[in-house]
């Protein structure tokens, strides 16, 4: 299985399409950086990314996810990585469900 493209390449290819925060993309913060356009999406993707990490101890020939035990990086980890990038993009006005959710949950953090 091929590894995901490194962040510098992604940042280069998406330059001008979104404002990428300057953070550690291998270990992003759970709280969305100030310039993130869709904070709720960031919160969900960051939580998923922090949950789906390699399990303790390397068991050759395949490293597995700690949560789902699929080969790492598992599909959930890949979705989380894509979700973090998507959270930096501004949704279409009035059409994005994330923009509605951000408005609906304004001031309240899910527990």
Give tens-digit pLDDT for 44-67. 999 999 999 988 776 677 888 999
Cβ neighbours for 3, distance < 8 A, ≥ 6 positions apart: 73
Q: Which one is predicted more confidently, 21 or 58?
A: 21
Euclidean distance between CA atoms 85 and 107, whole angstroms: 23
First CA to last CA distance, the chain = 35
Sign of CA dihedral 6, 87, 39, 11: positive
List the Cα angle 12/6/29 in 5-degree steps.
95
Q: What is the pTM (predicted TM-score) of this model?
A: 0.64
User: In the block, which residue shows the tokens 């279409």?
Assistant: 92
Write out pLDDT tens, residues 70-103: 998 899 999 999 999 888 887 655 555 555 556 5
pLDDT of residue 96: 53
């Amino acid at each position: 299985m091929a590894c995901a493209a490194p962040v510098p390449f992604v940042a280069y290819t998406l330059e001008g399409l979104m404002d990428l925060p300057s953070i550690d993309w291998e270990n992003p913060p759970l709280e969305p950086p100030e310039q993130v356009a869709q904070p709720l999406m960031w919160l969900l993707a960051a939580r998923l990314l922090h949950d789906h990490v390699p399990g303790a101890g390397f068991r050759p020939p395949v490293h597995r996810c700690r949560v789902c035990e699929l080969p790492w990086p598992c599909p959930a980890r890949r979705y989380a990585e894509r979700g973090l990038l998507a959270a930096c993009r501004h949704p279409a006005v009035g059409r994005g469900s994330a923009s509605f959710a951000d408005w609906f949950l304004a001031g309240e953090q899910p527990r």
